[in-house]
């Protein structure tokens, strides 16, 4: 059912939240647009400017690695300045209230952690862009180290331990999904009474399978997104409005 107007939607959402004891939010890039981070698919989104670099290209080509890091450094002022928005803060309030045990996110921006959710309770399906990792031995690196090496040599750096390429700690197209995050997300989706998909176009798989999985396991499903998604027809309620406006009333202490 589509909520006819924002006020109705917020009221119905409030009733569902009050009646639920185990809520799992599932977030996408739309929750962070009000924080100044563009999403992928909206007009002006990142894909309208740059074709994504796949994992295979990154591994095979020094030029692709250099281009990938140039793009990441160009985005640094945006990521470094971003602060949690109303959506993040509302979910953090529900987390503190004990209603939300963990948040599943496709986002890579670290904003759920900055809103006060413990690192262990943010299940990152697509990794995190605020640090780097060796794709061979998984050693972590600060972005500042990567930048310094890149600027000194003009090339994307390799791991000082094993010589494999260093990449942002994100999951690129064609890269294996993180097993631990996938299994924790599966367990959370299968054991909740309310699942909230917030700011995701639900076109990136396998992540987009979680709302459907939760619904099939008996949870109520809410979709909050300003555009239609392919799973709107299985949702108990669809709120097709701005996320900050919709979740703002749920920001607590």
Q: By CB under 6 A, name the binding residues for ligand NAD.
A: 28-30, 32-34, 37, 39-42, 45-46, 106-109, 126, 199-201, 203-204, 225-227, 242-243
- Of the candidates 88, 112, 126, 241, the residue annotated as catalytic is 126
Tell me which residue has its CB nearest to ligand NAD: 30
Q: Show the CA angle centred on residue 223, arms to residues 209 and 81, nearest 5°.
A: 90
Given the complex with ligand NAD, which of 149 and 246 has the nearer CB atom?
246
CB of 242 to ligand NAD, least distance (A): 4
CB of 38 to ligand NAD, least distance (A): 6
Given the complex with ligand NAD, which of 161 and 227 has the nearer CB atom?
227
| Adjacent-strand bridge partners of 23 | 194
Is 126 catalytic? The answer is yes
Given the complex with ligand NAD, which of 116 and 228 has the nearer CB atom?
228
CB of 229 to ligand NAD, least distance (A): 7
Helix (H, G, I), strand (E, B) or coil at 26: strand
Strands 122-124 and 103-105 turn out to be parallel
* Number of neighbours of residue 87 by Cβ within 10 angstroms: 31
CB of 224 to ligand NAD, least distance (A): 7
**Which helix H or strand E contains 128, and what residues bound it?**
strand 127-134
Given the complex with ligand NAD, which of 128 and 186 has the nearer CB atom?
128
Q: Are 145 and 168 in contact (CB under 8 A)?
A: no
CA separation for the pair 167, 146 (Å, rounded): 9
- Comparing C-alpha atoms, which of 143, 176, 136 is closest to residue 159? 136
Residues annotated as catalytic are: 126
């Amino acid at each position: 059912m589509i909520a006819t107007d924002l006020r109705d939607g917020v009221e119905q959402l409030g009733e569902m939240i009050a009646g639920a004891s185990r809520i799992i939010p599932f977030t996408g890039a739309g929750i962070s647009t009000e924080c100044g981070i563009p999403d992928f698919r909206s007009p002006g989104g990142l894909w309208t400017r740059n074709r994504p670099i796949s994992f295979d290209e990154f591994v095979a080509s020094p030029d692709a690695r250099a281009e990938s890091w140039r793009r990441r450094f160009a985005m640094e002022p945006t990521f470094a300045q971003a602060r949690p928005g109303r959506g993040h803060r509302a979910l953090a309030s529900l987390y503190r209230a004990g209603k939300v045990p963990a948040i599943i996110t496709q986002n890579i921006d670290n904003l759920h952690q900055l809103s006060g959710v413990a690192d262990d309770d943010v299940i990152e399906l697509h990794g995190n862009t605020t640090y780097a990792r060796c794709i061979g031995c998984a050693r972590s690196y600060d972005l500042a180290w990567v930048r310094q090496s890149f600027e000194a040599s003009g090339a994307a750096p390799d791991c000082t331990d094993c010589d494999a390429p260093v990449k942002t700690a994100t999951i690129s197209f064609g890269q294996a999904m993180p097993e631990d995050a996938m299994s924790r997300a599966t367990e959370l989706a299968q054991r909740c009474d309310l699942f909230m998909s917030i700011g995701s176009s639900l076109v990136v798989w396998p992540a987009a399978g979680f709302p459907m999985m939760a619904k099939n396991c008996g949870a109520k499903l809410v979709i909050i997104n300003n555009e239609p998604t392919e799973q709107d027809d299985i949702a108990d309620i669809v709120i097709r409005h701005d996320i900050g406006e919709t979740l703002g009333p749920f920001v607590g202490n």
